[in-house]
Chain A
């Protein structure tokens, strides 16, 4: 193994990852260099040290056991953090880039590649290492456990490499698995892949939810020794044995840790040698003969062009793995918002508790529609020339993009409405309000998002394409929340303020009419602005 090659390759991989994800303006160009990571690490280390030191004396006097527990658990925790972060990265980047792996054509051995790639993963996620090292140093100084801390740092280093090797193994394995599966069957595998991706994304995000993380740590910390046979806990057992003054056991576990790291590395090398497929596999989606159909889209009033764009965009959303994060977003928002509420006991219903189920769901729908709409233009990528060179009228384009979002979101909203009405025991009025607000959100946010997407498209194709400019994204989110507030406001007024001179039923009808009127006004503004903007966009090929 040539370590110089490993170093050069690791540097290139880090740069490629940095430049693919951080498209900052020229004022922040230093963030595109590997040295930026070192700088961020230093800030994280010092920041964590200062932050924890302020509470260290309090912790040492109140919960010295917790400090010891942190030092023991950290190596094991870091393995999972690196593995999950790497997995998330692996799952969310564009498929286009998996085949452009230049390194396949260079004289680089599998072991050199695995070591370089793992080093780049460790370096990229070194902020976890830096921050936890800084924080635990403050704790160790306070508890006079500096030697234990040094040992833990060494174990942390080995641990993050074990995590990175795990990512490498997953990468080779998924490459092989997907190529095998694709060859057998097309559409079902695509759907399965999307479901797995969404589940993985939701799982990863939830694992870092403080409520979930604390309960998970609590259940694991009780029994590290009980699972001594599990290699991923060996680095933690080194620290534990050392703290118990059992040097023989500590040495044994240290030997086992290094042995496991080496063994795991050799497995990754073998997996890459055997399973790596640099060429994208051929995915057959159907075996039936071509028979053009008009389909249900034409029955919805869409002409041929509009229906064609809608069909294409629906396929884009379900077949491109970088789109999984968009589909995962509403699930994530709903679940994240519900976790704290689920754990807290609710006794008597209040105006606030009435919103326990509907509010997170409405927020999820709003965010999904807005995000999906904002990215609908930029997601065309460099293939946008196909639309530019075709006789597509601006009106058709706007109608198609808007329809795609509505067609996708309305059934989801209706399903939630039925579910929430039945299982949430909503009153007739609450159920009607939910239906009206969710439908209004779909129309208004869809057109707002489209307006932003057309104004700030990002057609660049990188490892993690953004599809909409950062300023557009921020503006869109801000306006989206404002629009959602405007749409929901009449019902808020209805809920909290009473009108003496009007019956409650009439008041409700009036509220619903105001909501619908506001939605119409916002939607018309969004549609008109989108139409004007799209004419400007289509004036000249932007790429």
Chain B
């Protein structure tokens, strides 16, 4: 199967900080690929490079055979992106914001109207659609940004901690939606700190630490590689990232 996303030996440095080092990954069509790692492990940087928002210092990335560096606009036409801390135009209403995003993607009026209304209804934002986004809660803004990422029916979804701030019902909708889209061939790159969610929805997982991919595969493969059969993803994660024993830290904090 031809991978939709190909990352070859990608590296990114910010001064002396090696944010991403020699990362190579392939993600296939219809796959839900989880990116796990502690804060500052390079997940968001890698995701930004997938969309061409950041330029790799080494290596290459292609989406659907399109080189991100050479043709970032073509990539953005087929990608939906939810950043880690999305900032929206607070002076617009939800409708105006989504209408803006849809127009930028050159969607036809009827299609954009239908899609926007569908999502607003699903996320229970219909009665607040004409309110300025400045009055929205973090979770409501997150719903709007997720809608914006999905409006133009992307081939690849890059979701950086998309469930942040969402209420349980909306989180369930997003998870089910990702599953449904996967069956339709949409590929998803999904970053989260909630390991149970990653385990539940991702086909494959990569664990990143200090800019490197420590392990990659299905959860079964990861357990086998780590020699921890029967372990939970949390135990596996903590072992691989060397952050396992937190008892001393907790005890020190309780003193």
| Shortest distance from the beta carbon of A320 to any chain B beta carbon, whole Å | 5
Task: Determine the chain A residues whose CB is within 8 A of the CB of B93 once the complex forms.
Answer: 285-286
Task: Determine the chain A residues whose CB is within 8 A of the CB of B134 once the complex forms.
Answer: 95-96, 280, 283
* Total contacting residues, chain B, CB less than 8 A: 41
Q: Does A284 contact B (CB under 8 A)?
A: yes
Task: Determine the chain A residues whose CB is within 8 A of the CB of B113 once the complex forms.
Answer: 290-292
Task: Determine the chain B residues whose CB is within 8 A of the CB of A287 once the complex forms.
Answer: 130
CB–CB B53/A290 < 8 A:
no
How distant is the Cα of A392 from the Cα of B72 in the complex, in angstroms? 10
Task: Determine the chain B residues whose CB is within 8 A of the CB of A285 once the complex forms.
Answer: 93, 130-132
Q: Does A425 contact B (CB under 8 A)?
A: no
* Residue from the list B89, B112, B129 in contact with A292, Cβ < 8 A: B112
0/1 per residue, B83-100, Cβ < 8 Å to A? 100111111110110011
Q: Does A203 contact B (CB under 8 A)?
A: no
Surface stretch bound by A, among B1-9, B101-109, B181-189, B231-239:
B101-109
| Shortest distance from the beta carbon of B71 to any chain A beta carbon, whole Å | 10
How distant is the Cα of A341 from the Cα of B88 in the complex, in angstroms? 46
- Given A283-B135, A385-B83, are A312 and B53 also a contact pair (CB < 8 Å)? no
- Given A284-B130, A391-B77, are A315 and B92 also a contact pair (CB < 8 Å)? yes
| Residues 123-145 (chain B) with a chain A CB within 8 angstroms | 128-132, 134-135
Q: Which residue of A lies closest to B96 (CB)?
A: A315
CB–CB A320/B99 < 8 A:
no
Task: Determine the chain A residues whose CB is within 8 A of the CB of B77 once the complex forms.
Answer: 391
Task: Determine the chain A residues whose CB is within 8 A of the CB of B86 once the complex forms.
Answer: 385
| Residue among A285, A294, A392 having the largest count of chain B Cβ atoms under 10 Å | A285
How distant is the Cα of A411 from the Cα of B51 in the complex, in angstroms? 40
Task: Determine the chain B residues whose CB is within 8 A of the CB of A382 once the complex forms.
Answer: 87
Task: Determine the chain A residues whose CB is within 8 A of the CB of B105 once the complex forms.
Answer: 390-391
| Residue among A281, A283, A320 having the largest count of chain B Cβ atoms under 10 Å | A283
| Shortest distance from the beta carbon of A487 to any chain B beta carbon, whole Å | 33
Task: Determine the chain A residues whose CB is within 8 A of the CB of B53 once the complex forms.
Answer: 385, 388-389, 540-541
Q: Does A282 contact B (CB under 8 A)?
A: yes
Q: Which residue of B lies closest to A320 (CB)?
A: B91
CB–CB B89/A312 < 8 A:
yes
CB–CB A319/B91 < 8 A:
yes
Q: Does B81 contact A (CB under 8 A)?
A: yes
Q: Does A383 contact B (CB under 8 A)?
A: yes
Q: Does B173 contact A (CB under 8 A)?
A: no
- Given A390-B76, A390-B101, A391-B104, are A283 and B87 also a contact pair (CB < 8 Å)? no
CB–CB B130/A392 < 8 A:
no
| Shortest distance from the beta carbon of B185 to any chain A beta carbon, whole Å | 20
CB–CB A381/B131 < 8 A:
no
Q: Report the interface size class on chain A.
A: 35 or more
Q: Does A303 contact B (CB under 8 A)?
A: yes
| Residues 369-400 (chain A) with a chain B CB within 8 angstroms | 381-383, 385-393
* A contact patch SS: loop
0/1 per residue, B58-89, Cβ < 8 Å to A? 00000000000000011011010101001111
Task: Determine the chain B residues whose CB is within 8 A of the CB of A385 once the complex forms.
Answer: 53, 83, 86-87
| Residue among B55, B86, B88, B104 having the largest count of chain A Cβ atoms under 10 Å | B104
* Residue from the list B48, B90, B103, B112 in contact with A305, Cβ < 8 A: B103
- Given A315-B91, A389-B81, are A290 and B132 also a contact pair (CB < 8 Å)? no
| Residue among A285, A292, A385 having the largest count of chain B Cβ atoms under 10 Å | A292
CB–CB A540/B89 < 8 A:
no
Q: Does B32 contact A (CB under 8 A)?
A: no
CB–CB A540/B104 < 8 A:
no
How distant is the Cα of A535 from the Cα of B95 in the complex, in angstroms? 30
Q: Which residue of A lies closest to B69 (CB)?
A: A539
| Shortest distance from the beta carbon of A198 to any chain B beta carbon, whole Å | 17
- Given A290-B113, A390-B76, A391-B77, are A316 and B91 also a contact pair (CB < 8 Å)? yes
CB–CB A294/B91 < 8 A:
no
Q: Does B116 contact A (CB under 8 A)?
A: yes
| Shortest distance from the beta carbon of A535 to any chain B beta carbon, whole Å | 11
Q: Does A225 contact B (CB under 8 A)?
A: no
How distant is the Cα of A285 from the Cα of B96 in the complex, in angstroms? 10
- Given A292-B113, A382-B87, are A541 and B103 also a contact pair (CB < 8 Å)? no
| Residue among A312, A316, A540 having the largest count of chain B Cβ atoms under 10 Å | A312
| Shortest distance from the beta carbon of A95 to any chain B beta carbon, whole Å | 6
Q: Does B218 contact A (CB under 8 A)?
A: no
CB–CB B104/A392 < 8 A:
yes
Q: Which residue of B lies closest to A388 (CB)?
A: B53
| Shortest distance from the beta carbon of A319 to any chain B beta carbon, whole Å | 4
Q: Does B54 contact A (CB under 8 A)?
A: yes
| Residue among B55, B128, B134 having the largest count of chain A Cβ atoms under 10 Å | B134
- Given A284-B131, A391-B76, are A308 and B91 also a contact pair (CB < 8 Å)? no
How distant is the Cα of A308 from the Cα of B112 in the complex, in angstroms? 13
Task: Determine the chain B residues whose CB is within 8 A of the CB of A312 once the complex forms.
Answer: 89, 92, 96, 100
- Given A285-B131, A391-B73, are A305 and B104 also a contact pair (CB < 8 Å)? yes
| Residues 289-309 (chain A) with a chain B CB within 8 angstroms | 290-294, 303-305, 307-309
| Shortest distance from the beta carbon of B129 to any chain A beta carbon, whole Å | 7
| Shortest distance from the beta carbon of B137 to any chain A beta carbon, whole Å | 9
Residues of B within 8 A of A (CB): 48, 51, 53-55, 73-74, 76-77, 79, 81, 83, 86-93, 95-96, 99-101, 103-106, 109, 112-113, 116-117, 128-132, 134-135
In the A-B complex, list the 3 residue pairs whose CB atoms are closest, starting with the nearest.
A308-B103, A282-B135, A319-B91
List 7 A-B residue pairs with CB atoms under 8 Å apart, sorted by A's residue number.
A282-B131, A309-B104, A316-B91, A385-B87, A386-B89, A390-B101, A390-B104
**Given known contacts A292-B109, A308-B100, what 12 new A-B pairs fall within 8 Å (CB)?**
A282-B135, A283-B132, A286-B93, A290-B95, A290-B99, A290-B116, A311-B96, A315-B91, A385-B53, A385-B86, A389-B81, A390-B76
